[in-house]
A and B are shown apart, each in its own frame.
Chain A
Amino acid sequence: MSRTPPLLGVEGLSKTFGGGGFRLFGAARPPIRAVDGVSFAIRRGEVLGLVGESGSGKTTVGRSVLRLTEPSAGRIVFDGEDITKLPKARLRPFRRRMQIVFQDPYASLNPRMRVEDILGEALAIHGLAEGAARAARIAQLLDRVGLPAAHARRYPHEFSGGQRQRIVIARALAVEPEFIVADEPVSALDVSIQAQVINLMAELQADLGLAMLFISHDLSVIEYICDRVVVMYLGRVMEEASVEALFSRPRHPYTEALLAAAPVPDPEVERRRVLLLGDMPSPANPPSGCVFRTRCRYALPACAETRPPLREVAPGHTTACIRDDIL
């Protein structure tokens, strides 16, 4: 393990939505803790996967890290500087270094702008590649994501979903970021197109040495592209490990259940067991102690008492489960 400080450090991040305030009618709704005390670090050139089901808070974490959503508590440290409370103007240089790719390429491109203007705008905001250099830079970016330079004159609707996601990626790369949040970047794409875009992202990540927070519910994609993985459930981190360790020996019952539930594309394989019954509880009223205990087949009375801290079970492998005798 290298001792160099991480590029991104997230410490005790929490985000609460709603609740409080003055209400004229009816009882005030309880606040919802979408993210509750999440910590992790990403080194330069490293891909950290964030996996969890809907309601786990993974998207809120991704947005908070970029301050697209303001955290309620905790610290975001980028390249040694605490950016949690930076005012907008002082945040701008960091915005150039951190970019985001969203799930839906249809919603994230302005339909009235040509590709060259979409990419040009990103360059202009940060004063990059001005004048004659701009067209060359746009052509180079399109080439980098596997689109012909002639497509710069086209509008988003003239492209397929996969091509649009390439444009979104080109826009993110335009400002030469060091860090990218990729929020379900292939989930909206057709299966035969997903592999193309995953390959492109993996190639760019390696060539440019990008650090990435890769958010996905798809375990096979996570396993393919990530170095390390953080597993979230109901706003909290359940487990963190290298991708190899997590997939070969999960140490948290939720991770075990998640891996068991993923359909295996091989009809010869023995059918998986359903390890998880019921639904995720409401984040407005999370269970006491361990939030997973209500669905956990290993739960003990002690699990209801205190929130289990993340503890190290192997070098670089932590789990928020009090039991040592199960997995």
Chain B
Amino acid sequence: MQKLPDDTILAVSGMTTHFPTEGGEVVRAVEDMDLVLRRGETVAIVGESGSGKSVTCLSILQLIAPPGRVAAGRALLRRKSGEVVDLCALEERALRGVRGDDIAMIFQEPMTSLIPLYTVGDQIAETIEEHLRKPRREAWQMAVDLLRQVGIADPERRAQEYPHTMSGGMRQRVMIAMALSCHPAVLIADEPTTALDVTIQAQILELMRLLKASEAGMSIVFVTHNMGVVAEVADRVVVMYAGRVVESGPVRELFRRPLHPYTRGLLGSIARAGGSRRPGGVRAKLPAIPGNVPNPLELPPGCAFAPRCAMAQPACDAAMPPLALPSPERATRCLRWSEL
């Protein structure tokens, strides 16, 4: 039996996921990823496109499509039964029992996960029938209750509607209802509000806060590129760049004093309310990170951020900086973190 600290529900270590290309090269989408999720907390994974944040989620659930594969690492999960399993070592059949029951996932675009030919009530009820072995009638009633729980008005009528008749915010609520149907202990949410308008995003974030605060105390991995959303939902933050964790820590400490130049750059380049204009209406320049996001096939041997970093020195290019631990709760992959 595998060991996990009592307060921990999910512990990912050394997760490495590769995608071979047709040209015989390898995209190192995720390298040596560590992540700890404690009971009832929300961990945000922040990064830009290609940072590996979505691949991390799919790797945890063992949903990487071949020829991509999880090449190394462990993902220890405490199941509802108390048993601790390594998702990277489970057989597909056992995994199917874990997905939905213990861990559920929601995506950016709910339409890709909903079947257009079935009513939303049918889709949720079917999940319940299959996983919880409930009779049809009871499953349908539970589906309606779930829709009510995620804030859908008139759930009896809505349950009989098809996904395409619903707004984006409504569909995302349906997805969350479906994810909740088997009472998972862990919810993995991959950019769940990115496609939504800001007032609808606020509603969904509020809903996720309520889920976390409920007696079940759901633990959430929340993937986003938006630092504003991170500030609102996260207890702890993991920042990824070019497939690697570059920094992690509690949200307040990380915003107050980022210990990686990339995190500092991201926080600095947000057009901030009020702070942008000098008297007389002249705009101060936004502090932007220069350069471009690196090509995943041409990653340098050293720090992938070094080519864009004002603090880079020769040692940064020579070899990948190790993960430094400035405090028990914080980690940074920067040689010069103490100067930040």
A residues lining the B interface (CB < 8 Å): 53-54, 160, 162-163, 190-196, 198-199, 202, 206, 217-221, 223-225, 227, 244, 247, 257-258, 260-269, 271-272, 274-280
Whether A267 touches B231, Cβ cut-off 8 Å, given contacts A160-B292, A199-B285, is yes
Task: Let me know if A263 and B226 touch, CB within 8 A.
Answer: yes
Distance in angstroms from B276 CB to nearest chain A CB is 5
Q: B289, A195: Cβ atoms under 8 Å?
A: yes
A192 and B200 within 8 A (CB)? no
Is B71 an interface residue when CB atoms closer than 8 A count as contact?
no
CB distance from B256 to the nearest CB of A (A): 8
The answer to whether A262 touches B48, judged by C-beta atoms less than 8 angstroms apart, is no
Give B residues with C-beta under 8 Å from A: 48-49, 153, 167, 169-170, 197-203, 205-206, 225-232, 234, 251-252, 255-256, 262, 265-267, 269-274, 276-277, 281, 283, 285-290, 292-293, 308
Q: How far is the CB of A161 from chain B (nearest CB, A)?
A: 8
Contact flag A224-B271 (CB < 8 Å), given A193-B292, A263-B229: yes
* Chain B residues positioned under 8 Å from A278 (CB to CB): 153
Q: Which residue of the partner chain A has the closest CB to B193?
A: A263
Nearest opposing residue in chain B for A160, CB measure:
B292
Q: Given the interface contacts A194-B269, A220-B271, A258-B198, does A264 sit within 8 Å of B286 by beta carbon?
A: no
Contact A54 B203 (CB under 8 A): no
Find out whether the CB atom of B197 lies under 8 angstroms from the CB atom of A54. Answer: yes
Q: Is the CB of B293 within 8 A of A219?
A: no
Chain B's nearest CB lies how many Å from the CB of A100?
A: 22
Q: Which residues of B have CB within 8 Å of A217? A: 197-198
Which residues on A sit within 8 Å (CB–CB) of B262?
Answer: 192
Of A192, A202, A223, which contacts B289 at CB under 8 A?
A192
13 pairs from A and B in contact (CB 8 Å cutoff): A163-B292, A190-B225, A191-B226, A191-B270, A192-B262, A194-B269, A196-B288, A196-B290, A199-B286, A223-B274, A263-B226, A264-B228, A277-B203
Hey, which chain A residues are within 8 Å of B270, CB to CB? 191, 195, 220, 265
Contact of B203 (CB < 8 Å), options: A206, A223, A266, A274 = A274
Q: How far is the CA of A227 from the CA of B292 in the complex (A)?
A: 30
The distance in angstroms between the C-alpha atoms of A193 and B266, with both chains bound, is: 10
